[in-house]
Amino acid sequence: MMAADVEDHPDHVIAHDGSTDRRILKTSVIYGANASGKSNFVKALDFARDLIVGNLATQRDDQIPTSSFMFDLDFMGKPSRFEFEVKCGNRLFLYGFEVTQKLVVSEWLFEWIADSWELWFRRLEESKSWEIGTILRAAAEGIPIESYQTPSVEDETPTDSPKMSVSYLLGGTRQNQLFLNEAYNRGVKEFEALYDWFLRRLVLVFPDAGEMPIRFPQKIDEDFESKLAELIDIFGVGITGVRLKSIDLEEDTRFSSSFEKAIRRVAFRTPNTTNGYRSLQLNETTLLFSVDENKKIKSTEIFAEHKAKQGYTVNFQLGRESDGTRRLFILAPVMLDFLRESNDRVYVIDELERKLHPKLSFLILHMFLKNSGQKPSQLIVTTHETQILDLGLLRTDEIWFSEKDSHGGSSLFSLEEFTPRPSGDIRDEYLQGRFGATPIPLSVSNLGWADDDI
């Protein structure tokens, strides 16, 4: 999300390569009534990522699982449009596409160079046409095309032309497949950074996630145990330590062969191909697991330590902890990631406050802002928690509202758009409805169950 002309908290903004036109907010907090569209925003990101990395429509005849807006006949059957402005290192890309259930209608990629957007490619599937920019033409010189792969095109371009190579890739892309996915799978290195942004750098956390959204590091040892315990201790939930125990799934009678198969399915899902340990919950057991190059599963069970009255230690499986404590462990790898020197992820957390005390939601947001500095990382959350509606913590352009209109359409707008600017307690102003994005319930007396309004 882009920064407005706001003077407060200048350290909350990252300017792309010194540009005053492309200034990116480090944090965005989205408020709104129930069913206002906040979660649909996160689900849209999830859908786009899955389509880009190849988790959807993997075969030629597969449908793309998208749907049109159902509350307006003018939009019925129209394509769904997605567009991202993505910072990859010192480069800034504009990537987007339009899709129906049957095909990718259009797809485009630009790069911000010398204060303007320069074309990489533009694809129109219905007319089977495409436009190739000079950047991609130059990059395509290294694409290997075997003689038997040489495409048939209408013009007389020589077979060793860069345009021929790119034309082949574009022309060979399935109608229900994105060219970004096809080019990456073909080994075109120029697309790796952008593809990796969606695969590894975009981290989505849903309210009822049963597994941790990103992997713990490959090396799990006493130092890691100590760091995890220190992190959880900050939140004051009564845990005095964390213990990790290696287990053998084949010998442990608690786990069936079907559970091992479930782990393998999770392990080999496309977005999870980076090294490290993922998590999976089975009843009261929380497992961290990874798969080595020989496809052997390495599993570790995680326990929370508590001190009894007489001083001895009691180990609890995480499934025996409170819902809020389990939520903190789900968020733990994200929070540990905040502290990395090379942190470059974009975290999107739906319902940050889910199962957490208001002070803990504030603490998580404060932890990110304090440690992010000028790292190319970003945190976007949806929430109902008004404790973090605080201009001492956030800029006015970092506070967003989602509101649904009378026809069911949702829109996003920021606090910065309001005139006059908020001057008092913005929590009170929000709850009183000044900014919209709050529920408008009817009187309980409409139910006929009570005589008086509440």
> To the nearest whole percent, how much of the chain has pLDDT over 70?
85
Lowest mean pLDDT among 8-12, 198-202, 282-286, 405-409: 282-286
Domain ranges of the chain: 35-201, 215-342
The answer for residues whose C-beta is within 8 angstroms of residue 229's C-beta and 6 or more apart is 239, 240, 241, 242, 305
- Say if residues 234 and 356 touch (Cβ distance below 8 Å): no
Q: What are 41's two structure tokens?
A: 């925003």
pLDDT digits (tens, 9 = 90+) for 253-298: 887 777 777 777 766 654 444 466 777 777 778 888 777 777 777 8
Query: Angle 323-338/222-234 helices, nearest 10 degrees?
Result: 120
Candidates 264, 350, 343, 331; CA nearest to 299 is 264
The answer for residues whose C-beta is within 8 angstroms of residue 391's C-beta and 6 or more apart is 8, 422, 426
Lowest mean pLDDT among 27-36, 137-146, 356-365: 137-146
Q: What are 187's two structure tokens?
A: 């080994």
The answer for residues whose C-beta is within 8 angstroms of residue 88's C-beta and 6 or more apart is 193, 194, 196, 197
- Say if residues 247 and 303 touch (Cβ distance below 8 Å): no
Q: In this model, does residue 102 exceed pLDDT 80? A: yes
Q: State the Cα–Cα distance between residues 132 and 420, nearest whole angstrom.
A: 47
Q: Tell me phi and psi for residue 233, to 5 degrees.
A: -60, -30
For residue 216, what is the DSSP state?
B
CB neighbour burial string for 363-377, b if at least 16 within 10 angstroms, e if fewer: bbbebbbebbeebbb
Q: Give residue 20's pLDDT band: very low, low, confident or very high (50, 70, 90).
A: low
Q: State the Cα–Cα distance between residues 57 and 69, nearest whole angstrom.
A: 21
- Say if residues 330 and 349 touch (Cβ distance below 8 Å): no
